[in-house]
Structure 1
Amino acid sequence: MKSKFIVIEGLEGAGKTSVRHHVVEELNAQGITDIVFTREPGGTPLAEALRNLVKEGVEGENITPNAELLLLYAARVQLVETVIKPALARGAWVIGDRHDLSSQAYQGAGRGLDSTAMMTIKQAVLGDFSPDMTLYLDVTPEIGLLRARQRGELDRIEQESLAFFHRVHQRYRELAAADPTILIIDATQPQQQVQQAVKVRLREWLKEQP
């Protein structure tokens, strides 16, 4: 089977890390063991430095929404060109914790940035590159943020208002409903049910792949 780029998306507290383990288990069961893991922003020395800026901010200076978006795309294109594309080219599968869908939801809806301008930037730096499949873990902001707080201290973005996360959640759902490459998983279920749902959907998807 040709190598694939699979992305796991969702709000804070959706359970992306746990689901990644289930995805790996299912891929291994299908004989797929050469797997590269990425996260966004991050995944290269430059991208990790940009991640720190986005997550922690800069003391005494507010990061504007447009600056935040450009930092994220700089980190993304560096990761795609130096890690993801080379891995796919050599036959490895790539599992990503977030990709461009996050920017469409967080910066597009959350920050209220112009979607046309965002698509122009995306096309300029990524072209037609996109995940083969995305697992979107759908969880309400209330449940997701409660889980995130239980993990520990919140970062700059996680400290945004509930209204911000409701806008993000709504855009996620809109984008997922319109894109057949995005598989929606109800992440409000108990972990065992989420695990089963992920494995069933992934198994079905794998059967359809060349």
Structure 2
Amino acid sequence: MPTPAPPTQQDNKRGLFISCEGGDGCGKTTQARLLGEWLGPALHKEVLLTREPGGTPLGQQIRQLVLHGDDMGPHAEALLYAADRAHHVHSLVKPALERDTIVITDRYFDSSIAYQSGGRELTATEVRNLSMWATENLVPDLTILFDIDPKVGASRFTDAPDRLERAGADFHQRTRETYLHNAAQEPDRWIVIDGHGTIEEVAQLTQQAVRVRLQEKFAHYAHALTTNTFTTPESTV
């Protein structure tokens, strides 16, 4: 089922909404932060960096349940993620976009589609429709997939794995394949970045790809993104 097209900034004068996606250990959390540190100054805009689940106090409680709580069925898991998403969008994301803020979220509904319909094997239509209802059809302007081999991602874990990280190799391979399939279906929204490089290399690839895509989709950003140079992460490399 096609995702509803997001309204353009010219149409509703709202901020820019970017989601960062990928399997466990792909580096998206670090890359989301670095993207914000570059893009905010480049566009002279405030940046809100958030995450799902856990971007709000209520979301932090839901995050504890889904990542560290008792085992649960796939439908219960999907509903908990949708509840977090509904509150996150209503209380944090939409108000920020209305202030013309750049919102960068570490995971959004594409994670649910990849993990619950790919990994857990619910239907993609069920999961997508649930998220569309929960968010009142709020779709990111741009979604960045940091793609890595799940075995590489697992090798990067430094803490004890959570409930999803322990789901097994087949689960994570299905999740990766679902991500790549969905990205291919919506090439105008998605950017796929090879996440196997160093933090600096992946950050540079991300900046370059985002620069080009935003210049294509949002003409009013063209000058700022043309004149602003790339930044190199320092303390994180």
TM normalised by structure 2 equals 0.82
Superposition deviation, residue 158 in structure 1:
0.6
What residue number does 2:130 align with?
Answer: 121
Q: 1:206 aligns with which of 200, 210, 214?
A: 214
Name the CA distance, whole Å, in 1 between partners of 2:201 and 2:66. 33
Superposition deviation, residue 87 in structure 1:
0.4
Q: Tell me whether 1:158 sits opposite 2:165 in the alignment.
A: yes
Identity of matched residues, %: 35
Q: Given that residues 134 and 182 in structure 1 are in contact (C-alpha distance below 8 angstroms), is that contact kept between their aligned partners in structure 2?
A: yes
Superposition deviation, residue 72 in structure 1:
0.3
Runs of 4+ in 1 over 3 A off after TM superposition: none
Name the CA distance, whole Å, in 2 between partners of 1:164 and 1:63. 16
Q: Tell me how large the CA RMSD over aligned residues is.
A: 1.5
Query: Alpha carbons of 1:144 and 1:31: their partners in 2 closer, same or farther (altered >3 Å)?
Result: same
Q: 1:53 aligns with which of 58, 65, 88?
A: 65
Mean Cα deviation higher: 123-132 or 69-78: 123-132
Q: Given that residues 26 and 202 in structure 1 are in contact (C-alpha distance below 8 angstroms), is that contact kept between their aligned partners in structure 2?
A: no
What residue number does 1:102 align with?
Answer: 111
Q: Tell me whether 1:82 sits opposite 2:94 in the alignment.
A: no
What residue number does 1:131 align with?
Answer: 140
Query: Alpha carbons of 1:28 and 1:44: their partners in 2 closer, same or farther (altered >3 Å)?
Result: closer
What residue number does 2:232 align with?
Answer: none
Name the CA distance, whole Å, in 2 between partners of 1:17 and 1:70. 23
Tell me the amino acid that sits aligned with residue 188 of structure 1.
H
Q: Given that residues 22 and 198 in structure 1 are in contact (C-alpha distance below 8 angstroms), is that contact kept between their aligned partners in structure 2?
A: no
Superposition deviation, residue 116 in structure 1:
2.5
What residue number does 2:29 align with?
Answer: 17
Name the CA distance, whole Å, in 2 between partners of 1:64 and 1:10. 22
Give the total of aligned pairs. Answer: 205
- SS of alignment partner, residue 156 of structure 2: helix
Choose between structure 1 and 2 for higher RCO, CA contacts under 8 A separated by at least 6 residues. 1
Name the CA distance, whole Å, in 2 between partners of 1:176 and 1:156. 26
What residue number does 2:101 align with?
Answer: 92
Aligned counterparts, 1:175-186, within 5 A? 175-179=182-186, 180-186=188-194
Mean Cα deviation higher: 196-205 or 18-27: 18-27
Tell me the amino acid that sits aligned with residue 65 of structure 1.
P
TM normalised by structure 1 equals 0.92
Name the CA distance, whole Å, in 2 between partners of 1:40 and 1:125. 13
Name the CA distance, whole Å, in 2 between partners of 1:94 and 1:190. 25
Q: Given that residues 32 and 49 in structure 2 are in contact (C-alpha distance below 8 angstroms), is that contact kept between their aligned partners in structure 1?
A: no
Q: Tell me whether 1:190 sits opposite 2:202 in the alignment.
A: no
Name the CA distance, whole Å, in 2 between partners of 1:162 and 1:66. 21
Q: Gapped runs of 5+ residues in structure 1?
A: none
Name the CA distance, whole Å, in 2 between partners of 1:184 and 1:95. 16
Q: Given that residues 20 and 107 in structure 2 are in contact (C-alpha distance below 8 angstroms), is that contact kept between their aligned partners in structure 1?
A: yes
What residue number does 1:147 align with?
Answer: 156
Superposition deviation, residue 14 in structure 1:
0.6
Name the CA distance, whole Å, in 1 between partners of 2:22 and 2:128. 20
Query: Alpha carbons of 1:38 and 1:21: their partners in 2 closer, same or farther (altered >3 Å)?
Result: closer
Q: Gapped runs of 5+ residues in structure 2?
A: 1-8, 221-237
- SS of alignment partner, residue 136 of structure 1: strand
